[in-house]
Structure 1
Amino acid sequence: MKKQILFLMIVGILFSCNKNNNGDNLETQVVGNWKLIQMTGSIPNSETTGTEMEWQETYQLNPNGTFLKSRNRDEVITKASGTYKIVDSSDGKFLEFNFNDESEIIGSCYSNLKEEMFFRSKNTFSSIWNACDGPGLKYKKED
C-alpha cells in the first residue's frame, strides 16, 4: 500500500510541474539582434542582399519589450526606439513595433509610428511595407 501511495505521489508531482520550454517560447526567441538580409522592389527580380542594399539595418529586441532600430545609409547612422509585442492574427503571428517618436526610418503603410513584421520562420521576419509600394525587407536573427 505504501508503494502505491508513493508511486501516485511521484506521478502527481511529475504531472503538476510546469515544463520550461524556453527554446520553444516565441517571446524569448525574438530577443536579440535581427539584421536586414534582403531587399526587394516592386520590379520583378529586383532583389538585393549584403552591401548591395540601399542601407544596412538592425533591430535589437530586448527582454523587457523595448527595441532599438539602427539604419546605416551612406555612412549616416539613424536610430529609433520604442516597444514591441507579438500579435496573433488569422494570418499568423507578427511583431508590432511602436516607435516613441517620428523617424525617417519607420517603414510603414500608416503614419501612426507603427511597423509590422510577419514571421517567415522562427529565425526570419519580413516587413509588410511592400504592400503599399515600400521595399520588401527580410530580417534574420543573428547568432
Structure 2
Amino acid sequence: MTRIIHGISRELLRAAFCDYFGVADEHADILVLLYERPGTMILTRDLAKLLNSHRPPTKGAIQERIRFLREIMEAESLDTGEDDESSGYALSDIGVNECVKALREMAEALMKCGPSTMLAGRNVEQIRRSETSHPLRAVAGQR
C-alpha cells in the first residue's frame, strides 16, 4: 500500500529527495518523515520506529544521517531539540522550502519529458488544469 503524504506518494518524495540532494534512500527516508510533520520535533527513538524497516537503525545511525543531511542542506534546515530522555529533529521552514523546491524540480522534469499531446485519453492542457487529481502539478504551479 502506498502511503500518501501531503498529496504525494512516499516513494515519489523519496525519489525527489534522493535526486535533488544526491543522497541514498536511508537519508531521504528521514527527510520524508520530517517533511510529513514540518516544524514538529520527532524524537530519535520515534524516527527509528517510523522508518519502518525490518531492522530499525540505532540512535547513532540516525544521528549520523542527520549530520550528513546538515552538510548538504541549507543552514538551519534542520532543528534539534533535546529533553531529559532523548533528542529529536524537525524540518524548519527553510528545510520545508528546500524540500518543496526538490518537488518542483521533479515536477518540471516530469513535465518536460512527458507526452506532448495525449495522456490516458486527455490532452496535457486538461491535465495541467486539474490540480486536485495531480498534486505534483499543483506544487509545480505554485511559483
Query: TM-score by structure 1 length?
Result: 0.24
Larger Rg belongs to = 1
Return the structure number with greater helix share: 2
Query: TM-score by structure 2 length?
Result: 0.24
Return the structure number with greater strand share: 1
